[in-house]
Amino acid sequence: MRQRNVKNKEDIINNSKYFISKPTLYKGKWHTLFNNSNPIYIEIGMGKGKFIIENAKKYPNINFIGIEKFDSILALALKKIDVDLSNLYMIRLDANNILDVFDKEITRIYLNFSDPWPKKRHEKRRLTSPLFLEKYDLVFKNNNHIEMKTDNKDLFSYSIKSLNNYGYYIEDITFDLKSDDNIMTEYEEKFTKLNNPIYKIEVSKVKK
């Protein structure tokens, strides 16, 4: 998706107290930054930030880290924070490099409307491919827990199979998400207004 350039994006990013410019410094010790031992949830590919910001507001006893690799989108997310939050940080990171930043300290991973990478030759780029699931094994603290939402039926079907083959069991699944408790992303709001079905799955795996 082509993203418009955001004016003064570098200033917005670098002047925000919620942006961590050198996240590798906190690998294995993110709790020291949050200054508590609360669970840490991450969203890989947070987009414009609505989902993770609203979660941070709703659940003050959970720490949240939003991950985004594009500067313009990261700047838009940082601008969206409209209240003081002590349980939220955002970082610039390509998901491929997640092991540079986290080590056995994450409780939950959110994958919301990830790029489906529909071509077979791009399978390894999908965030639910075995390549990424292997990386996630090394960032989870105890048992693995992943929540995924998408509007792409093919990606959803692929993910169910990939997660199952990797040892995850399904805790909850829906092929047409409708819930009063559901915190939507920007994409989700758009697709819901168009009456497009939203697919969601929650899976867990006991760490060996």
Active site residues: 115
Measured in residues, the chain has a length of 208
Residue 202 tokens read as 């929650």
DSSP, residue by residue, the chain: ------TTHHHHHHT-TTEES-GGGGTT-HHHHHTS---EEEEES-TTSHHHHHHHHH-TTSEEEEEE--HHHHHHHHHH--S--SSEEEEE--GGGGGGT-SS-BSEEEEES-----SGGGGGGSTTSHHHHHHHHTTBSSSEEEEEEES-HHHHHHHHHHHHHTT-EEEEEESS---TTPPPPHHHHHHHHTT---EEEEEEE---
Q: Tokens for 58?
A: 């709703």
- Asked if 104 and 77 touch (Cβ cutoff 8 Å), the reply is no
